[in-house]
Amino acid sequence: MWTLPQKVRDELGIGNDEILDDRQLENLIREAQEQVKEDLFTYHFDEEIDISRAGNSWNGTNTTFNTFSYPIMDSNYDNIVNGSDIKCHWIDNDYAIQEATITVSNATYGVVTITQSDGSTAIPSNADTIRVEYYSCHRNISLNHLENLTTILTANSVMNTFKAGTSISMADFQKNEKLLLLNPKIYLNKYYDLLRKLQGSSIKGV
């Protein structure tokens, strides 16, 4: 996950798990992660690999390629970017879809290693195309930003849980009690403020 239950508690000023246990917070974190990904990431489906850079065509020996957009982002919430965050296949000269093995060499610049399904043989020169599926985002977005955004948005979900009439009491929110009483949308506003700083004012959902 991009954040942890205790980080959400720290954001809210909750000192223990008497209000929400780890399992409840983890469920809210998973929902927040999906929203952050929707707000920040661009999804690339069945996109041809970038062969415009020198030496990046498939020629039977080359295995290093680039994605058109970068950085490649962590799309499965495990805090690293690797081959599990990008899918790849190639189409042979008979237009049949073939499996490929792909690893991420440099996520920041979209550099990937692509081979045939055996993990070592280069894509043949007579292949029709190589295609990938992945997520990218603005280049100033880091894993730390994803953690902060997810933590803040999960804190907002906890507030929404309170507003929905659960057993959560305002008295349980220790250091932030006065602030929360004055502005129940403090975390949602904080979330969108950070989004604007990271990618400008054109934010989906505002």
Same domain, 77 and 120: yes
Same domain, 119 and 62: yes
Write down which residue in 118, 136, 154 finishes a domain: 136
Residue 192 has pLDDT above 80, yes or no: yes
Q: Which residue has the higher pLDDT, 160 or 69?
A: 69
Same domain, 48 and 132: yes
Please check whether residue 84 lies inside any domain of the structure: yes
Same domain, 18 and 56: no
User: What is the domain extent for residue 66?
Assistant: 42-136
Provide the pLDDT for residue 206. Answer: 42
Which residue do the tokens 């899918």 mark? 87
pTM for the predicted model, two decimal places: 0.85
Please check whether residue 60 lies inside any domain of the structure: yes
Residues 6+ apart with CB under 8 A from 46: 131, 133
Q: Which residue has the higher pLDDT, 128 or 163?
A: 128
Residue 46 has pLDDT above 90, yes or no: yes
Residues 6+ apart with CB under 8 A from 158: 8, 12, 19, 20, 25, 28, 168
What Rg, from alpha-carbon coordinates, does the chain have? 22
Please check whether residue 70 lies inside any domain of the structure: yes
Same domain, 26 and 47: no
What's the number of domains the chain is made of?
2
Q: Are 139 and 70 in contact (CB under 8 A)?
A: yes
Residue 105 has pLDDT above 90, yes or no: yes
